[in-house]
Amino acid sequence: MNALQQGGRRSLLLGAVFLMATSAIGPGFLTQTAVFTAQLGASFGFAILVSILLDIGAQLNVWRIIAVSELRAQDIANRVLPGLGHLLAGLVAIGGLAFNVGNVAGAALGLQVLAGVPLRTGAALSAGLAIIIFLRRDATRVMDRVTQVLGLVMIALTAYVAITAGAPVGEAALRSVWPTEVRFLAIVTLVGGTVGGYITFAGGHRLLDAGVKGEQSLPEVDRSAVTGIVLTGIMRVLLFLAALAVVTSGVALAEGNPAAAVFGAAAGEAGFRVFGVVMWAAAITSIIGASYTSTSFIRTLSTAVERHVQRTIILFIATSATIFVAIGNPVKVLVLVGAFNGLLLPLSLGTMLVAAHRRDIIGSYRHPRWLTVAGIIVVVAMSLMAGTALVAVWG
């Protein structure tokens, strides 16, 4: 492979990493982190640490099985059990659409904070920009570049706010391994918001579409999966530290927009403007990721969608924007959809684990035993925590 080909492959791998990471880092990500930091204080660090470990176990299993089977997740599921892929595709698409409504709302809010743009106008402008990307013939290349640039911008600006805030790092580190309170709903929501629903498959499907597949590609697939989780973990920790500094100083976060309150309290008017940029960047990249990945779940189940993939993605974006204009921007939805995606993870990951040991799906590939064990732990842990969380919410 010459230098040009290596550079192109590296770009594809980075594209998958940032598509997954920026799909996870959306408005819900910002809102969830601020809300749970206000509720749990420094002990929220423990939920973040556990969620990162669970995320890695889930991603490595899913991305590997997609790569070696050379099939999208819904096709794998249909081979495991006829009809299961259709069910999984339907659940992922519904969750992706619900999440995308929140993404459009977040983009509108970001533009309102940044430039005073009315919410409905901001939603239309942001959705229009995402649509323009998918109108291009080189849409996937542009998508990769946009998610990479905006992903780095988000991390850099949030790092600035975290440093400015002066968070109690020592207390956060201690409570990350020795918490005073553990809340399962927080862990379920974090995992669901990071690798639940469509996000689990965002990078894996992107690599498959780019031709990065087969057992020979597994070292690259593994590095990409872990790097994506590390990037989301860095962003989560930076935002957690900024929120913790604000909360421990005695400032109460506004219920209507807790993430904005963090940035504003930490860095004043400049911090508030930074929040606008971060919120918009998080939202627009998540709109792109949710639309691309949700569509990838139904394209092999419908010949019409397969023939008109980009038009379907555009329709998905337009529908999300229309729903937002109709119902507004509820903060609670952003948290609850993360929890819904967390509930979906045991089904999707469990299906991939069954496929990992089916020769008619993965051929001669032997899935590492430690990864199978790690995946089972994630499935069992998420099932138990999700059950406990549901009892807490509805009981």
pLDDT category at 82 given cuts 50, 70, 90 is very high
The mean per-residue pLDDT over the stretch 101-122 comes to 88
Domain-embedded: residue 290? yes
- Share above pLDDT 90 across residues of the chain, in percent, rounded to a whole number: 41
* pLDDT for position 4: 47
Domain-embedded: residue 38? yes
Instruction: Give me 352's structure tokens.
Output: 């991939």
The mean per-residue pLDDT over the stretch 261-269 comes to 85
CA dihedral 243, 47, 18, 12 (to 10 degrees): 160
Q: Does position 225 have pLDDT exceeding 50, yes or no?
A: yes
- Share above pLDDT 70 across residues of the chain, in percent, rounded to a whole number: 91
Domain-embedded: residue 2? no
Domains in the chain, number: 1
Choose the weakest-confidence range: 6-10, 193-197, 327-331. Answer: 327-331
pTM, entire model: 0.86
Q: Does position 47 have pLDDT exceeding 70, yes or no?
A: yes
Domain-embedded: residue 1? no
Q: Does position 157 have pLDDT exceeding 50, yes or no?
A: yes
Q: Which residue has the higher pLDDT, 239 or 185?
A: 239
Note every long-range contact of 296-300, with CB atoms under 8 Å and residues 24 or more positions apart, other chains counting.
296/72, 296/201, 296/205, 296/209, 297/72, 297/73, 297/74, 297/88, 297/89, 297/92, 297/93, 297/96, 297/198, 297/201, 298/74, 298/89, 298/93, 299/72, 300/72, 300/74, 300/75
CATH code, domain carrying 130: 1.20.1740.10
Domain-embedded: residue 7? no
- Any idea what the Cα angle at residue 93 is, between residues 88 and 97, rounded to 5°? 150
Query: What is the residue-averaged pLDDT of the chain?
Result: 86
| Residue ranges making up the domain that contains 90 | 12-394
* pLDDT for position 99: 81
Q: Does position 362 have pLDDT exceeding 60, yes or no?
A: yes
The mean per-residue pLDDT over the stretch 339-358 comes to 84
Run of H or E residues at 243: helix 218-248
Domain-embedded: residue 89? yes
Domain-embedded: residue 337? yes
Choose the weakest-confidence range: 80-89, 279-288, 293-302, 308-317. Answer: 293-302
Q: Which residue has the higher pLDDT, 388 or 209?
A: 209
Domain-embedded: residue 3? no
pLDDT tens across 295-343, in order? 988 887 788 888 889 999 999 999 999 988 887 644 555 555 555 666 6
Judge contact between 66 and 72, C-beta under 8 A: yes
